[in-house]
Amino acid sequence: MGSGIEVRKATAADIAVLVGLMTEFYAEAGYGLDESWARSVFATLFENEDRGCAWLVQDQDAPIGHAVMTVRFTMEHGGLSGYIDDLFVRPGHRGRGTAGSVLRELEKECAARGCRALIVEVGRDNHAALRTYARLGMEHVDDGRILYRKLLPAGKSA
């Protein structure tokens, strides 16, 4: 990775930058983003670090990417698991090891938290990401499970 690249834990002061990057990430995937909602969600995340954290990637102080990792207790892993909710690097900065650097920082964060697993969701056709994850020792899990979800009405956050 070139000099001038910095991967650092984000703070509440970075919310506007994170929302801008998240908007780009969602647009690339064909999704819209309610920026007011996103600001609120980041604020909620920063209110309680037990929930997880966000990371900001900068090149010469210009934002070029971000990651969000949440933490949950899983019976499957017998403890905490880190879940990479978002990982985005702007297109002009891809292919330079930036995502790998972010993932190594997330692994360190998981180790510091005592997590037993690090999990990422990725599209089947995102071949560059699939190669990156494999190169970093992550294994493809295709054990026949299917993910279901039900969106619930907004309630008080725990």
Mean pLDDT of the chain: 94
Read off the pLDDT of each residue in 120-149 and give the average, rounded to a whole number: 93
Structural Rg of the chain based on CA atoms: 16
Read off the pLDDT of each residue in 64-93 and give the average, rounded to a whole number: 97
Read off the pLDDT of each residue in 9-24 and give the average, rounded to a whole number: 98
pTM of the model: 0.90
Beta strands 79-89 and 62-74, pairing class: antiparallel
Contacts of 37 (CB under 8 A, 6+ apart): none
Percent of the chain past pLDDT 90, that is, above it, reads: 91
Question: Does 1.25.60.10 match the CATH number of domain 5-135?
Answer: no
